[in-house]
Amino acid sequence: MKKSNLRFLGFLGFIGFLGFPTGNYGFFGFFGAFAFFTFGAIRNDEMFKIHIAKAGLNAFVVSFVGLVLAIAALSIIQTLEIAALFIGGIYLIQLLTFVFSYMVYEKRGDL
C-alpha cells in the first residue's frame, strides 16, 4: 500500500508566513494546514478512502451553506473587511469540519 497523497496539502501551511510581512492576520489560519502532514504516516487503504470521502462531503456541505449565508450577508453589509473575515472563517470551519468528521469516522470504524 502506498502513502496518502493528502499529506501534500500540508504545504499550504507555508502561506501562513505571508501574514508577517503583509500584516494581514487572516493568513495565519493557513498554519492549520500543517496538520495534513500527519496523513503521511497513514497507509492508504479502502477504509481510509471511504472515511476521507465522507469527511470531504461534510466539509463541502458546510462550505456551501456557509458561502451562501456569507454572500447573503455581504449583499446587505457591503464591506470588503467583512468579506475577508467571512472567507477566512468559512475556510477555518470547513477545515475543522473535515478533521473532526474524519476523526469520528476513524474512531467508529464502520462503513
- Dump pLDDT digits (tens) for 70-98: 999 989 988 888 888 888 889 889 988 99
20 pairs with which residues across the strands? Answer: none
Q: Based on the fold, state whether residues 39 and 57 are members of the same structural domain.
A: no
Q: Based on the fold, state whether residues 7 and 21 are members of the same structural domain.
A: yes
Q: Based on the fold, state whether residues 7 and 60 are members of the same structural domain.
A: no
| Per-residue pLDDT, 40 | 79
| Per-residue pLDDT, 105 | 93
| Per-residue pLDDT, 1 | 60
Q: Based on the fold, state whether residues 51 and 31 are members of the same structural domain.
A: no
Q: Based on the fold, state whether residues 53 and 106 are members of the same structural domain.
A: yes
43 pairs with which residues across the strands? Answer: 3
Q: Based on the fold, state whether residues 53 and 105 are members of the same structural domain.
A: yes
Q: Based on the fold, state whether residues 22 and 7 are members of the same structural domain.
A: yes
Q: Based on the fold, state whether residues 37 and 64 are members of the same structural domain.
A: no
Per the structure, the count of domains in the chain is 2
Count of all residues that appear for the chain in the document? 111
Residues lower than pLDDT 70 in the chain = 1, 111
The conformation of residue 54, written as its DSSP 8-state character, comes to: H
Q: Based on the fold, state whether residues 54 and 37 are members of the same structural domain.
A: no
Query: What's the whole-model pTM score?
Result: 0.74
Domain extent for 103? 45-111
Distance CA 82, CA 11 (A): 27
| Per-residue pLDDT, 68 | 94
| Per-residue pLDDT, 55 | 94
| Per-residue pLDDT, 92 | 84
| Per-residue pLDDT, 111 | 65
